[in-house]
Structure 1
C-alpha cells in the first residue's frame, strides 16, 4: 500500500545524504592531512620586559606609577606621559601596561607606558553578551554559543596555524569553513532535513564564492599585498601565498552571512509547505528576496565598517577618482563586497529549490493520500 509512495518520499533526503556525507568525510580527512605541526612564532625584537602598573599621580608631562607585576613589582617609578597620535591617555587610578627597558635611553626613565590594561572590562563585556544570548535564546542560545566556540576553535587551532605553516590558504579556508558549517549548523539547529538543506545550500554557495573570487583576483591582477600589514606579513612569512590569503578571507567572511540566509530559507519553506502546494518556490523566493536585500546591506556595511580608516584615507587622496577606485587597496574591498554579494544572492534560489524538493517529496508520502488539510500536529 505505502510502497508506491516510499521511493519519492525518501529520494531527496537520500540524495542530500549522498552528497553531504561524503563532503563531511572529505572535510574531516582534509583537516587531518592539512593539520599544522608546531608553527614557530616570529621572534619579537628585544626591546624590553613587560610589566603591569597603576597610575597614582600625574604632574605635567610625567606620571607616577606603582608597579604591580613584572620587573620592579611593589615599587613606584616615574614615567613620561605618552604623547602623539594613538598614545594612551592617562588618569590617576588607571591600570596600565609598561615596558621595562632601563638601557633604552641613557639617563631616561626605565619604564614606558605602552597601553591600558583591558582584561577586566573585556571579560565583563563578553559575559554580558553571553547572558543576553542565553536570556533570549535559552536552549538555542546555548547551542549557538557552543557553535561560536567551535568556530573560534577551528579558526585558531586549524585555519590560522595551517596558513602560517605554508599550506594553500584557499584550500585551508574552504576546509575550515566546511568544518565550521557542518559543526555549527547541526549543533545549533539539530539533525533534520531542513538543516541538511541549509548545509547543502551553504556549501554550494561557498564553492561558487571561491570560484568567483579566484577568477576575479586573476582578472584584476591583484597581488594580495595592498597595505602595511600585508607587506609586513609577506616580508616576515615568505611562505604564505598572499593572493590565496585574500581569497581565503573572502570565503570565511561570506560564511557568516550565508548560513543565516540558508537556514532562514529552509525554515521558510518548511513553514509554507503545509499550506502551499502550488507556487511554493515563488512564495519562498519572495521571502528570500526580502531577506537577501537586507543581508547584502549587512555584508557591505560590515566590510565598510572594518575598512573605515581606509575609506577616510582614500576620501582625502588628491589623485583623480578613477585612479583611487582602481588602486589595489580599494579594489580588494570592492572584490570582497561584490563576490560575497553574488554568493549571497545565489544561495537563495539554490537553498529554496532544495527545500522545495524536500517538501514536495514529503507531501508525496502516505499521509498525502488523505482528504482534507493536514492536521496541525503533523506539520514538520
Structure 2
C-alpha cells in the first residue's frame, strides 16, 4: 500500500488470537459440515446416446458455388440472405471413419463458422431417422482447444511472473474455486437443493480456501474472512428482500426458461439469488483484503494512531475503492447482458415499462444488491481490523495509555543541529541504498 515495510506491525496479543480462532474455526467447521450434508451424491448425467457423436476433423478442400434461386418470401421481414453455398472436404481424425475424406455442405446461416483449408473443425454425425444405416457429417464449429490452451498458459505465466509465490497461490485458489463450483454448487442446484443455501455454503468454502491459501493464515487474513462472510450473509438477506419486493420469478431470460424445460425441479428464484451471491464474492474478497491490509499498513507506518484515527483513515481509502468498484460491478453486469440491452433499442414500449420488465429488473436488482453488500463490507472489515490492530497496545497495568506512544517531538537544539548538517557539505559516509531497502519486502502480517 506504499507504507514502509521495514518495521514489523504491532503483534496481536494472545487473547485476540484466541478470540479469532474461537470465531473462525467454528464457522469453518459449520461450513464443512453443511457442505457434507448438502453434497450431491447421485447426480444424474445426460444419456450419451441422445446427443449426436462429435469428431475432430481438418478441412482439406473448400468449393463455393452460386446458390440456387429461392422463391420469393411473401413477407419481406422473413427474407434471409442467400449463401454461402458449396461443399467442404474434411479429413476425419476420430471415430469409425478416421482417416477418410468426407464431403459436407458449406456451413450457412446466422453464426455459421467461416471455414478455410487447414482449419481444425468439429464434425457432427447425423443419422437419418428413417434409415439408421444412413448418416452424414456436418460442420458444427471450430476446434478452440489450442488457442484457449495458449491463452490460459499466457494468463498463468503472467500471474506467476508478476506475483511469484503469491501469484502461484492465486492460481491454486482459482483452481479451488472452479473445483467447488463444478463439484458442489452446480451439481447441488441440479439435484434440487436450495440454490440460495448451496450458494452461501459454496461461497464460504471458496472464501476460506482462497483467502488463506493466497494470503496465508494470519490475523489480517482472518479479519478479511470475517468481513467477507458477514457481507455475504448481508448480501443474501438483501437479495431475498429485493427479489421478494420486486416480485422477480427468475424466468427473465431465455436460458432460465430453457433450463426449466430440461430440469423442472430447479428453483429459478433461488438460482437468481445464488447468482447474486457468487457474483459478489470476488469483489468482496478484494475489498475486505484491501481494507484489512490498509489498517495494518497504517498502524505500521504510524504506531501512534488511535483506533478511531485508524478507522477513519482506512475508511477514506475504502471510499475511493468503492467509488471505482461500483462502476466495475455495473459494467460487468452490463457487459454480460449486452444482447439484452441491445433489445431495448428495438423495443417500442415506453421506457418505464422496459425498465420494470422481468429481464431488465433482474439486472438492476443484481447490481444494486451487490453494491449494497460491497458498501457494507468496508465499515465492517475496517472496524474489525482497527479493533484487532490496536487490541495489544494497552499496558498490562490497564492505565489506558498507549504502550506504543507516538515519538516525542525533537528538541529545538537537535533541530538546529540537523539544519546545520544539511546546510554544510554533504560529503561523508552514506548508507547504501541496498542496506536501507534490505527488508523492504519483509512480510508484516501477524501469523497465528
| Same fold by TM-score greater than 0.5 | yes
CA distance in 2, matches of 1:130, 1:282: 37
**2:33 equivalent to 1:33:** no
How far did 1:19 drift? 2.3
Gaps in structure 2 of 5+ consecutive residues: 1-11, 65-85, 409-439
CA distance in 1, matches of 2:236, 2:381: 18
Partner of 2:332: 302
Secondary structure class of the residue paired with 1:362: coil
Do the aligned partners of residues 369 and 272 (structure 1) sit closer, same or farther apart at CA in structure 2, a change above 3 Å counting?
A: same
Partner of 1:57: 61
Q: Is the 8 Å Cα contact of residues 50 and 98 (structure 1) preserved in structure 2?
A: yes
How far did 1:292 drift? 1.1
**2:143 equivalent to 1:117:** yes
Q: Is the 8 Å Cα contact of residues 16 and 200 (structure 1) preserved in structure 2?
A: no
Do the aligned partners of residues 348 and 76 (structure 1) sit closer, same or farther apart at CA in structure 2, a change above 3 Å counting?
A: same
How far did 1:101 drift? 1.7
Secondary structure class of the residue paired with 2:164: helix
Partner of 1:3: none
Q: Is the 8 Å Cα contact of residues 53 and 67 (structure 1) preserved in structure 2?
A: yes
Q: Is the 8 Å Cα contact of residues 57 and 92 (structure 1) preserved in structure 2?
A: yes
Do the aligned partners of residues 350 and 62 (structure 1) sit closer, same or farther apart at CA in structure 2, a change above 3 Å counting?
A: same
Partner of 1:319: 349
CA distance in 2, matches of 1:13, 1:308: 47
Q: 1:74 aligns with which of 91, 99, 104?
A: 99
CA root-mean-square deviation: 2.4
CA distance in 1, matches of 2:279, 2:443: 38
Partner of 2:165: 139
Post-superposition Cα deviations, 1:203-245, rounded to whole Å, max 9, x if no partner, equal 0100000000001111111111112210111121111111011
1:50-199 matches, cutoff 5 A: 50-60=54-64, 61-103=86-128, 110-199=136-225
How far did 1:52 drift? 1.4
How far did 1:45 drift? 7.3
**2:362 equivalent to 1:332:** yes
Gaps in structure 1 of 5+ consecutive residues: 1-7
How far did 1:10 drift? 4.4
CA distance in 1, matches of 2:334, 2:406: 52
Q: Which has the higher helix share?
A: 1
Q: Is the 8 Å Cα contact of residues 393 and 403 (structure 2) preserved in structure 1?
A: no
TM-score, structure 1 length as denominator? 0.92
CA distance in 2, matches of 1:149, 1:378: 25
1:354-373 matches, cutoff 5 A: 354-364=384-394, 369=403, 373=407
Post-superposition Cα deviations, 1:165-219, rounded to whole Å, max 9, x if no partner, equal 1110100000000011011101100111110110000001000000000011111
Q: Is the 8 Å Cα contact of residues 51 and 71 (structure 1) preserved in structure 2?
A: no
How far did 1:85 drift? 1.1
Secondary structure class of the residue paired with 2:45: coil
Partner of 1:4: none
CA distance in 1, matches of 2:443, 2:264: 59
